[in-house]
Structure 1
Amino acid sequence: MTSRWMDEDLSRDRFLGGRLTLLQPRRGYRAGVDPVFLAASVQAQAGQSLLDLGCGGGVAALCAGARIPGMSLAGLERQAPYAELARRNAADNDLQMRVFEGDLATMPPDLRQLRFDHVIANPPFFRRDASVPAQAQDREGALGEDTPLDVWVAAAARRCLPGGYVTFVHRSERLPELLAAFSQCLGSIELKPLLPRAGRAAHLVLLRGRKGGRAAFRLHAGMVLHQGESHGADGADYTPEVSRILRDADPLIFAR
């Protein structure tokens, strides 16, 4: 199967300070910093396995693989052009990643036979009963939710090994639904808010749970993304901690 994108429809974008160069469509869904934060939060070791649900062009899984060499990477993507792009991105960066095509509610049989040490997801952010669909079909498929969050979480938990971890990045306003879904099938739940600036409310959150975990819920201090009270000049104004995560492939530590 070939991508519907011609090469001129794609851009080559640098991630992790150039450790990865990934193809993305010039128009349609393009990954930002969210999947990089998600990948950086995975506390994995060489030899462990990771599955990215709704992997798109493979940004989150490949960032995790570049940061932790020796991991076994897999992704599930329902949009065939993005699945093919993820395979191409993995090959172009000399990383092994098995990409399955299908919907998470009805996973391919081969994937249903596998379980992983880590399962990650960056689900569509926006409920379409409370927002306007994107005009581009591929962008809408990435941003507009048509599979409920509890289905995402249940699917992730089923593919996770006992003692393994499930980590999601999502919008803060969806946290009540996300916490309820995690509580149904995971334990040892930890929440890390991502604050745009000091003193501002969190727009994004990282939520992690453990398969079979029994520890009490933990709410960690938020990570501030940008310096200063407002954006006052051209260029990035990330905090030193965030810059090291985005450019130097540093881990994102839940607890300090």
Structure 2
Amino acid sequence: MASRSARPDRVTAAALTQDRFLGGRLHIWQPRDGYRAGIDPVLLAASVPARAGQSILELGCGVGVASLCLGARVPDLSLSGVELQPDYADLAHRNAVENDIGLMVVTADFTRLPTVLKAQSFDHVIANPPYFQRDRGTGAQDAGRETALGEETPLRDWIETATRRLVPGGWLTMIQRAERLPDMLSALTDRLGSGEVLPLSPRQDRAAKLVILRARKGGRGAFRLHAPLVLHGGTHHTRDCDSYTPQITAILRQGAAVKWPA
């Protein structure tokens, strides 16, 4: 675990909620207000083609949901996360300890990684970058939520950092809004190939709102755009329930992996 100096808790218990993920396999502390993890980091974790014994680095790990979901699915991973906001990094560390999953959490700006991470290379780098560009729309009032959702560091820098930290043949896996796909693809250099995009559609015949991108360092395969993965059954919301498709239910409740098309 990352070394930490003794200091009082930055976030009081009243400001937190403990939420269940993967059908209760994980119990995650996160701020009651501000940025709160939903299904996006769970889907990100389910999309990573990791195997036991491999190493994972998460850029902007927040309270640790994606890394911990991945650790719950695949045994014996070496998990590391870097998080800019100290309050969220502290919660990621706490969540890892309380869920008995090894996760080294480093509080830092990933564009200026400390030596403990710069000295390593990883089999996988994962990221759920901020979705919204700061020059578009209205910022969130909560500072933590604004940092998590409002892009300050360009997507190109996320992908460049990931590329540098990957071993040859290692995978970048990232989830983003569909409208940001051109930005992601334009940031892929000749060092990242075999790119694949899996759109995430809220319902059948609806436009995708999110996409998952993965690319391989040194990959030479042709780019592939897959058919959408549909999140909800039916054509519209009919009652107060989640209405997830069986595949999505297995991912969110049982920790199943996303089935990428062959």
Change (3 A) 1:194 1:2: farther
> CA shift at 1:184, angstroms?
4.6
Give the Cα separation in 2 of the matches to 1:85 and 1:206: 26
Indicate yes or no: 2:135 matched with 1:132.
no
Indicate yes or no: 2:73 matched with 1:63.
no
Indicate yes or no: 2:123 matched with 1:117.
yes
The Cα offsets for residues 128-152 of structure 1, whole Å up to 9 and x where unpaired, read as 1112111110100100001000001
Indicate yes or no: 2:219 matched with 1:194.
no
Aligned position for 1:203: 209
Indicate yes or no: 2:25 matched with 1:19.
yes
Matched positions, count? 256
Aligned position for 2:93: 87
> CA shift at 1:3, angstroms?
3.9
**Is the CA contact 1:170–1:206 (under 8 Å) kept in the aligned structure 2?**
yes
Give the Cα separation in 2 of the matches to 1:177 and 1:35: 20
Q: Counterparts of 1:208-219 in structure 2 under 5 Å?
A: 208-219=214-225
Aligned position for 1:41: 47
Aligned position for 1:32: 38
Give the Cα separation in 1 of the matches to 2:137 and 2:189: 27
The Cα offsets for residues 103-126 of structure 1, whole Å up to 9 and x where unpaired, read as 111111211111110100000000
Gaps of 5+ in 1: none
Change (3 A) 1:106 1:229: same
The letter of the residue matching 1:214 is R
TM-score (norm 2): 0.96
Give the Cα separation in 1 of the matches to 2:33 and 2:9: 14
Aligned position for 1:106: 112
Aligned position for 2:163: 157
The letter of the residue matching 1:207 is L
CA RMSD between the two structures: 1.0
% identical equivalent positions: 54
Give the Cα separation in 1 of the matches to 2:168 and 2:52: 18
> CA shift at 1:183, angstroms?
3.8
Give the Cα separation in 1 of the matches to 2:71 and 2:234: 32
Which SS does the other structure have where 2:244 is aligned?
Answer: coil
Gaps of 5+ in 2: 1-6
Superposition misfits of 4+ residues, deviation over 6 angstroms: none
Give the Cα separation in 2 of the matches to 1:4 and 1:176: 38
